Every structure is written in structure tokens, then in C-alpha cells.
Amino acid sequence: MTVHIIQDFVPYNESVIWDLTEKYYKENGLDVFSKMEAKDIVPYESTSNYQSAKAYLEMLIASSKDLPESSFPLKLLDCGAGNGYFAYNLLHAAKEMNFLDKIYVIITDFAKENLLGVKKKKILAGFEEFKHYELVELDVSNLETAKSLDDKPYKFENIYAVSMNYLLDLLPLTVLNRKNSMFKEKFDQLQIKTFIESKEDLKDMDFMTYCKALDYEFKWAPYKIEEEPESEKKYYDFFLNYHEKNKTIVGRHLYFPYFSFISIEALMKVVTDDGFLYIADIPPRKYEIFKSFGASISHEIEVEILAAFAADLLGYDSVSLVDDILSRIIICKSNKLKIELKKSFNKVFIEENMVNRLADIRLALGSFHHKEASDIFLTLLDEFEKLAGPSSEVALRRGYYHRINGDFKKAKEYYEKAKKLDFINDYDIDAILWKLEHEQKDPELTVF
């Protein structure tokens, strides 16, 4: 067994793993969201489902009800759109709620391959490009580099609302640790060493195998803010004061999310005075430094420090909520808007919370494997269908229901229907149809 040193100890925010994450997204397009192509897929269902998009739309409708007619259509900026499913569900919800002509969605991602995939797969079929939406390549930490798909510079102006789903967790950050209870005695900074221990020649590994084989070693070293880039220095005093004020526990690793601060500050500058920014991301659990999905890394998001940043440095109010599924925060340009948004925010995410209802039913449906409980499965599926919107998932689960009950003809009909609705996992459905064909010949061969 040979140990291949990929990169010796460097500060965490300078690690090669950030380059690999960027390469993963930029070169693989929608495959990173496909169950067939990436067994450990990049998650999106919690934030991009129909109920999440509908909840966001309800907040838009409530907050804009007193705006003059000249304010419409509202320009909505969807950052880190990924596979386009959030925009897909947002446009469908707007159509259902007779609000489609009131919005214009600018769908962005830093990976042009994702945006091209959205076009190629016709994910937004049924909606008109440049009437209901457009696609723009964007690095949220540098709005000046935005460009259209034909590589023309793009300028953001008069944006009413910005949505960021599972995006901040991907942005570079520094990981620090309090050295002792005397808080002003500086931090230690996490450093990371990257290596692969393998008998195989690294040249023979494909990209995913290479990334999966990576191993890491960590150590703490003195943090010298004076040696860090200006983008990090800019927010250090705020970060220091925030943790001093909150008396952060010694020994707990702390994220210094300066790239998130850069992005939020830049985005709020292009938001209108009566607009807002909405963030939904990974809730804090304090388990690991980072979590891997496919060949990308992600981090937990603490809305408390984002709220403090918005208030102390930018002067904006916010509304936030953390549960076991998501961290959510809305940063508002005005206090009047905050009052209105707090009402609708509480309504859609606390009083009703159809997002969590959908998630719980999905989880329950996934636990059924025997026809003896198919009556309960069907009851839950009927409720799931009311919540899931125009999703392939309902057809897939109805196909599964008929499959476990031996009605292969009906099962095939639903699987074929699901394939038409699923834009990124059609390979998986083909595999199911192949299994179904063999199960028809011998039901004892059923594979779940």
C-alpha cells in the first residue's frame, strides 16, 4: 500500500478539496443530482420540492400586495439553481396560484454545464424563456462576472427577492477554534493534509474514484489574520466581536464564513428597497468539519451569525427558523417588510409547514416493502400526491404500489409516466422497467 500525498498541510480554506468541488460541479452538470450517476448525490429535495417553492411564493405574494402595478413582474434571482427544480416548482406554483405573469425568474448557477443541462433536458418546458425566466452564469461572490449563456456580460438590477437554496454551505470558509477561555487571546486555525492510500496508480483512477479515495489529516495552527487576504480581514472584527459577545464554548470548531458574508453583502446591494433575500441550508449539528456528497463538500449553516451580520454590518432586519431539516433566514431591506414577511414566514414554516409534512410522508412511504401494508401505503400516497405538485415521484410510487401488488401492466404505465416527468433520473427508471420485465416472467425475482 502506497501513501500518495496530494497536498501537505495548508489552511482549510486553501485546500485542494475546494478545487475538486468546483471541478465536480463544472464538469459533471446535472449528473451530480442523478441517483444513477452519483450514488451519494448532491441533495436538493428538501429545498427544491413543490411545497418549498410554494411557501416561497406565498411569501412573495404577501410581501408584494401593496406594491404599485409598475413593480411587476417582480424580478426574482434564484442563486445556485443546480438542476433547476426549485425554479421549475416555483413557476408551476405561480401558474397554479395565478401569479405567473407577476414574476420573472433569473435562474443562475456558477456551473454553466448545469444551466445547459436545464435547457437540454427541457426542464422548464411549458414556460417561455425571456418571458417567464432566463438562465445566467453567476458566481455569487463576484456579481461582476455574471454572464448570459452566450457569454455576454449580465448586470443585475431591481431584484425584488433572492433565493439561495443549499448554496452557502458550498462556499469557502475558514475553520477556527478558541485557544482558551480568554477569548481575546486569538484563535487556532484548522489545517488539512490530503492524501490517498492505495495500491492502485492514481493515473488509473477516474475522477469519482479518486475523490472517494481521498483521506485527510487535521491539525490546529496559530491563526494570523494579518496574513490573510483582504476579503477575510474585512469581516474579522465582526466575527471576533460576535463570538466574544456570545461566549462561544472552548474546544468547539467555529466557521468563519467570510465568503458567505461577501455574497450576502453583494446581493443585498442589487435588491430593491422593498425586497429581501431568502436562504435555506443545512442546519447546525456539530458532527463533522465537513460532509461529502459525491465529490463535493458542504458545511452546516448557522443562521444566528448571518442574522447578526445582516443587522450589525449591513443594518438589515431578519427572520429565521432552524429545525431538523433546514436552517432558514430571510434578510429584509426594511422593517416594514420584516413585519409583513414574519407573518407569512410563520404561517408557511411554523403554523402550516407543508414542507415538513411532505418530508415526513416521503420518509414513511420509503419504509413500505410488503403488499400486506399496501392499503396504508395508498392512503399516504394519496396525501403525498396533494403536496408533491407536478413531480415524477408520485408516478414512481404509484408504480411501486402496483408492482408489489402484482399488477405489472399498471406498474409499467406509471413508471413510463414517471420517466416523462423525471428529467435527471431516467436511467434509474429504465433500470426499474428492466427489472419489472423480468419480474413479470417470475414474480419471485422481485428486487426492491
Closest CA to 190 of 221, 227, 169, 224: 221
C-alpha 447/C-alpha 264 separation (Å) is 47
Answer whether 341's CB lies under 8 Å from 347's CB: no
70 and 97 housed in the same domain: yes
Q: Is residue 418 part of a domain?
A: yes
Arithmetic mean of pLDDT over the chain: 90
361 and 417 housed in the same domain: yes
Q: What angle do CA 168, 171, 176 make, to 5 degrees?
A: 100
More confident residue, 288 or 71: 71
Q: Kindly report which listed range (224-228, 339-343, 423-427) carries the lowest average pLDDT score.
A: 423-427
User: Which grid cell is 311?
Assistant: 443587522
68 and 186 housed in the same domain: no
More confident residue, 216 or 251: 216
Q: Is residue 446 part of a domain?
A: no
Band (419; pLDDT cuts 50, 70, 90): confident
Q: What does the pLDDT read at residue 402?
A: 92
Q: What angle do CA 175, 177, 180 make, to 5 degrees?
A: 170
Whole-number percent of the chain with pLDDT over 70: 93
86 and 113 housed in the same domain: yes
C-alpha 154/C-alpha 134 separation (Å) is 11
Task: Assess whether pLDDT exceeds 80 at residue 207.
Answer: yes
Q: Per residue in 138-195, pLDDT tens?
A: 999 999 999 999 999 999 999 999 999 999 999 999 999 887 655 555 789 999 999 9
Q: Per residue in 90-116, pLDDT tens?
A: 999 999 999 999 999 999 999 999 999
Q: Is residue 448 part of a domain?
A: no
Answer whether 344's CB lies under 8 Å from 58's CB: yes
C-alpha 399/C-alpha 321 separation (Å) is 36
Band (444; pLDDT cuts 50, 70, 90): low
Give DSSP secondary structure letters for 315-384: --EEEEEE-SS-EEEEEESSHHHHHHHHHHHHIIIIIS-HHHHHHHHHHHHTT---GGGHHHHHHHHHHH
Q: Per residue in 236-294, pLDDT tens?
A: 999 999 988 887 766 678 999 999 999 999 999 999 999 999 999 999 876 688 888 87
Burial class (CB in 10 A: 0-12, 13-18, 19+), 385: middle
User: Which grid cell is 63?
Assistant: 410581501
Amino acid sitting at position 361? I
295 and 158 housed in the same domain: yes
Which residue has cell 408533491?
388
Q: What does the pLDDT read at residue 160?
A: 98
User: Which grid cell is 415?
Assistant: 413508471
Task: Assess whether pLDDT exceeds 50 at residue 448.
Answer: no
Band (201; pLDDT cuts 50, 70, 90): confident
47 and 84 housed in the same domain: yes
Answer whether 244's CB lies under 8 Å from 132's CB: no
Closest CA to 103 of 67, 51, 143: 67
Which residue has cell 493534509?
193
39 and 178 housed in the same domain: no
| Residues 162-197 as b or e (16 or more Cβ within 10 Å = b) | bbbbbbbbbbbbbbbbbbeeebeebbbbbbbbbbbe
Task: Assess whether pLDDT exceeds 90 at residue 445.
Answer: no
* CA-only gyration radius of the chain, Å: 23
Q: Kindly report which listed range (222-231, 250-259, 351-360, 378-387) carries the lowest average pLDDT score.
A: 250-259
96 and 220 housed in the same domain: no
Task: Assess whether pLDDT exceeds 70 at residue 40.
Answer: no
Closest CA to 390 of 424, 427, 430, 422: 422
Q: Is residue 87 part of a domain?
A: yes
Answer whether 162's CB lies under 8 Å from 271's CB: yes
Q: What does the pLDDT read at residue 447?
A: 47
Task: Provide the domain count of the chain.
Answer: 3
Q: Is residue 445 part of a domain?
A: no
Residue ending a domain, choose from 315, 332, 352 = 352
Answer whether 146's CB lies under 8 Å from 136's CB: yes
Q: What does the pLDDT read at residue 199?
A: 80
Residue numbers of the domain that contains 16: 2-20+171-253
Q: What does the pLDDT read at residue 389?
A: 93
Report field, pTM of the whole predicted structure over 0.85: yes
DSSP strand pairing (159-165 vs 271-281): parallel
Question: Once rounded to an integer, what is the mean pLDDT over residues 304-308?
Answer: 97
Task: Assess whether pLDDT exceeds 80 at residue 424.
Answer: no
Residue ending a domain, choose from 325, 352, 379 = 352
Q: Per residue in 125-135, pLDDT tens?
A: 999 999 999 99
Amino acid sitting at position 313? L
Answer whether 32's CB lies under 8 Å from 38's CB: yes
Q: Kindly report which listed range (164-173, 397-406, 431-440) carries the lowest average pLDDT score.
A: 431-440
Q: What does the pLDDT read at residue 426?
A: 63
